[in-house]
Amino acid sequence: MLCVIISTTIVGNVCLFAVVLRSKALRNLTNMFILGLATADLLVGLTQMPITVYTIIKGRWEFAHSGCVVFRFLNMVTLVTSVLSLCNISINRYIMVCYPQKFKDIYTVPNSVFMLIGVVIFSILLSLPPLIGWSEYVYTPSHSFCFTDWQNHV
């Protein structure tokens, strides 16, 4: 079942890219935000889901502590990027509906690129504390997943 979800995640997001990039009518600023979300979700499907399935099947973590650190860092970055991308899309639609006269002033190409890059930078910054000594990433066997252990480092 999880393999079907992984395949659907990858194929669905690749198809979204193909459709938006092939159709000139769909290449607009709003869809730039949707492609930002699709990028984060595609990275989850390519990097996070397969390792999680493998770990569940094996019943243990087989990628050393450094693998746990990389896995959890990427997991945090993609998760936060995905959530903030949804926020970006929601704000974009809200402004379009409630303040259509201001929409074109706010959502220019430079502003939109800044918002997209800002989401990624903010996601990386939120994921950094365990890498610089504030908390740590640990494998939790009961969940077959690497988590951030905040309790011993707060």
- Percentage of the chain modeled with pLDDT above 70: 98
How many domains, in total, are found in the chain? 1
pLDDT given at position 154: 55
Q: Which residue has the higher pLDDT, 70 or 147?
A: 70
- CATH code of the domain containing 15: 1.20.1070.10
Determine the pLDDT at residue 148: 84
Q: In whole angstroms, give the CA distance from residue 100 to residue 103.
A: 5
23-61 pLDDT tens trace = 999 999 999 999 999 999 999 999 999 999 999 888 888
User: In sequence order, which ranges of 44-142 are alpha helices (DSSP H)?
Assistant: 49-58, 64-98, 100-106, 109-127
Higher pLDDT, 143 or 59: 59
Please enumerate in sequence order all residues whose Cβ is within 8 A of that of 42, keeping only pairs 6 or more positions apart, or say none: 9, 10, 13, 14, 17
Containing structural domain, residue 57: 2-153
pLDDT in the model for residue 135: 82
Percent of the chain with pLDDT strictly greater than 90 = 69
Mean pLDDT confidence for 66-73: 90
